[in-house]
Amino acid sequence: MTTVQLRRYWFEPGHLAAFTAWFPTVLPTREQYGFRVLFALGAAHDETFTWAVAHDGDLAAFQEAEAAYLTSPERAAAFATFPGHIAKKEIGFADDVLAH
């Protein structure tokens, strides 16, 4: 079983490019905690960034790994250069409707 979290961010005008340049710096730390980024899409026309992150296991396993990731010194170091300016976020879990 794999748990997938969808994340969508809306940025203040003019700030998407800085975020998309920064985003790859956090991926090695995510991977260290067992996460895989399935896709990451930026849309300049409305300053949005949509991505999906997966973790093997059920929701509880995802949440446990996320708690460890969020409090890790590696994440803190990566976020030292976080450009910010996220005006709104939507974060939730999704199921693969095409999986058999």
Q: What is the pLDDT of residue 100?
A: 62
Residue 99 binned pLDDT confidence (cut-offs 50, 70, 90): confident
All structural domains of the chain: 2-92 (3.30.70.100)
Written as six digits, the tokens of 78 are 């990566």
Instruction: Tell me the percentage of the chain whose pLDDT exceeds 70.
Output: 99
What's the rounded mean pLDDT across residues 44-51? 96
Q: pTM of the full predicted structure?
A: 0.91
pLDDT at 80 exceeding the cut of 80: yes
